């Protein structure tokens, strides 16, 4: 769930995409049925995820578990 009081706007989306780019695995984020590339700031912004929006995070590859843990934490605790 997006905890940032302003939602997943440009700055947190940029931070999220930069963190996602550190992983080798393929990472996607979804709102409803729309899946987007977690490494793309514009794609993340297209989800229009306001505060409290539930997003799904999917990662496939060698470091997928760590990616989901870290990126999920960014969504739930935006100040960290």
- Catalytic, 9? Answer yes
Domains and CATH numbers, the chain: 10-76 (3.30.1340.10)
- Catalytic residue, chosen from 2, 3, 7, 9, is 9
Specify the pTM: 0.90
Number of neighbours of residue 77 by Cβ within 10 angstroms: 10
pLDDT tens digits, 10-54: 999 999 999 999 999 999 999 999 999 999 999 999 999 999 999
Roughly how many angstroms between the first and final C-alpha of the chain, as a whole number?
15
d(CA 65, CA 31): 20
């Amino acid at each position: 769930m997006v905890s940032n009081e302003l939602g997943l706007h440009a700055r947190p989306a940029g931070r999220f995409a930069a963190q996602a780019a550190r992983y080798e695995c393929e990472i996607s984020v979804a709102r409803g049925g729309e899946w987007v590339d977690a490494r793309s700031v514009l794609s993340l912004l297209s989800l229009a995820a306001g505060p409290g929006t539930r997003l799904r995070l999917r990662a496939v590859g060698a470091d997928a578990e760590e990616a989901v843990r870290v990126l999920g934490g960014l969504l739930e605790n935006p100040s960290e």
